[in-house]
Chain A
Amino acid sequence: MNVEDLYQEIILDHYRERHHSGLREPFGAEVHHVNPSCGDEITLRVALAGDEIADISYDAVGCSISQASTSVMADLLIGRDIDDAMALYDEFLEMMNSRGQATPDEDRFEDAIAFVGVSQFPARVKCALLGWAATRDAVARAQTAETQSSETQTVDTQTGETRAATTDLPTPPQEAS
């Protein structure tokens, strides 16, 4: 494993200049996610417009991987159809669990292809997923709010099954605390 694979220029560029950073109005849901092992935090807002993610904005502290990943994700998901965005989340998750073996489609992943290098470092996978998991959670909550449902449930856009409107962060190896 080479540390240069981890810190590719794309990642460092996004770390230095985080796209869509700073909380914006209007929004349909706001969530707060943390990575308990290192204390990285994100407050993230999602605005939906029909079947589309109209906006994602966030305020986050954390390492270069978590910051760059959130920046890349916001670029990718803003303006995207919700179902397709959630499909892309699943594909990103699959890539992050590939231990460097995935060969992502550059046209679909754009700058997110750089994170295949991160998947070689299991301890850092959680960093790359922080913003994505927050977005998935926020989208689910925004959908729930829109349907005016009294119970906190939503329909999984992939499987059609009903589930609680919170997302579980996938759990790569944890640092002891």
Chain B
Amino acid sequence: MSRYDVEAIRADFPILQRRVGQYPLAYLDSANTSQKPQQVVDAIAQHYLQHNANVARAMHVLGAEATESFEGARSRVARFIGAASPDEVVFTKNASEALNLAANTLGSRLRPGDEVVVSVMEHHSNIVPWQLVCERTGATLRWFDVTDDGQLDLEAAESSGLVNERTKVVSLAWVSNVLGTVNPIRTVADWAHVVGAVMVVDGAQGVPQRPTDVTALGADMLAFTGHKVCGPTGIGVLWGRLDLLSDLPPFLGGGEMIEVVRMEGSTWAPPPHRFEAGTPPIAQAVGLAAALDYLDGIGMDAIAAHETDITQYALEQLARVEGVRVLGPGADADRGGAIAFTLEGVHPHDIMQLLDSRGVAVRGGHHCARPLHDRFGVQSSTRASGYLYTTRAEVDALAEALDHTRQFFARGRGSARRSRRRHSDAAVGGGA
């Protein structure tokens, strides 16, 4: 394999040339959303400018072209994740909708006494839909805890019989969006399958970073989103085993998802269209296919190796900044690209703001994973996350900006206690 050429990759992403004030942009928020290469934007533009029409129902040339592109994108996604057939790929608007689709359709089988298992490290999108469906059906929601180093606590789960004959669904993140933990999906899927439960995997962070093979993973359903794999917003994917999907009721009702509609009742289209009511995200599917072409052009193995390299480097650099504490797995663990940390004495929102003033884009808050933050006894954290285009120089900018942040908030601290100020010396416009 030729050497990974991060500069050549960056040339495809015009936004990475941007400056923020006097600083070059250091975009370290890819776990939130990835940037888009020119190729993806061009594919979407080309679709709208030359091939735009509705799919499936328009019979003219443009309709045929748009349908071919849209269904071609479905095949492209199937190939990217190792699905047995394009019919196993359902397009949604994002990963959250994909998980809601899974929860609501699987929820039709839940009864009081049944159990659904998630983990405390899940994104809210993989907690709340299950809470809602459990509330509605009388099923019980249970969850894996994590160990202090941010790994799924398999031992505690095993000894407490977390996955048992009452378990109907287990739904876990493949890669944590906060800690970067890579969960042992295969192991848990085997537990689930022994008791006849369905294994749902939230791949929002895993699919962008790692080569994906749904069979090897052990999933029965896998959710992910387009905008984190260099594709557009507005499109997500729910992959499901065809025999499972065929057995599930519709999610949303409307056009495209039906077979025959009569006023007395209707019948449903087979998967995947059963789950795609209304005009789907057509241009977004075209963009997603272009994004997957782009990633495969570089190679997901190479991208995963780069992610590991840049994450290790970031962990080393963060370890040098005074007051930084990284949450979750350390450098010796197999881990994903999200690095959540705290900086002693400075709130994550303030860290984010100071870093932003130096062109370093990170996320501060609970990253839609509040139960996980509660578990670690912190109110919130700052998260840096790189991707295929991230450079060591950007990580250096992060470390320098963090040092600056620490000093900024330490200024004046430890000096004589100030009296309360009501003077104009620090008033509006008095700042530097």
Q: List residues of chain A with CB under 8 Å of any chain B CB.
A: 2-10, 12-13, 16-17, 19, 37-41, 61-65, 75, 103-104, 106, 110-111, 113-114, 116-117, 121, 124, 127, 175-177
Contact = CB atoms under 8 A, between A and B. Distances in A.
B349 A3 contact: no
5 contacts: A7-B350, A13-B421, A38-B349, A40-B379, A61-B379
A58 B364 CA distance: 24
A114 B124 contact: no
B262 interface: no
A3 B357 contact: yes
B426 A114 contact: yes
A10 B426 CA distance: 7
A121 B350 CA distance: 12
B347 A63 contact: yes
Contacts of A127: 349
A114 to B, nearest CB: 7
Given A16-B412, A38-B365, 5 more contacts: A19-B420, A39-B373, A64-B350, A104-B428, A177-B368
B391 to A, nearest CB: 24
A42 to B, nearest CB: 12
B420 A75 contact: yes
A39 B431 contact: no
Nearest to A11: B426
A13 B422 contact: no
Q: Which 9 residue pairs of A and B lie closest in terms of their CB atoms, listed nearest first? A: A3-B357, A63-B349, A63-B347, A4-B431, A38-B365, A9-B426, A39-B366, A4-B432, A177-B368
B320 interface: no
A7 B432 CA distance: 10
Given A39-B370, A39-B373, A39-B379, A16 B413 contact: yes
Interface in B359-396: 364-366, 368, 370, 373, 379-380
A10 B430 CA distance: 11
B417 interface: yes
A20 to B, nearest CB: 12
Contacts of A64: 347, 349-350, 409
Contacts of A104: 428
Given A110-B422, A111-B421, A177-B368, A6 B353 contact: yes
A106 B422 CA distance: 8
A117 B431 contact: yes
Contacts of A39: 365-366, 370, 373, 379-380
Contact of A177 (B124, B348, B424, B428): B124
Interface string B337-358: 0000000000111100110110
A116 B356 CA distance: 20
A124 B349 CA distance: 9
B408 interface: yes
B431 A113 contact: no
B238 to A, nearest CB: 20
B418 interface: yes
A175 B353 CA distance: 13
B191 to A, nearest CB: 30
Contacts of A40: 349, 379
B121 to A, nearest CB: 16
Contacts of A106: 422, 424, 427
A146 to B, nearest CB: 31
A48 to B, nearest CB: 25
B412 A9 contact: yes
A63 to B, nearest CB: 4
Contacts of B350: 7, 63-65
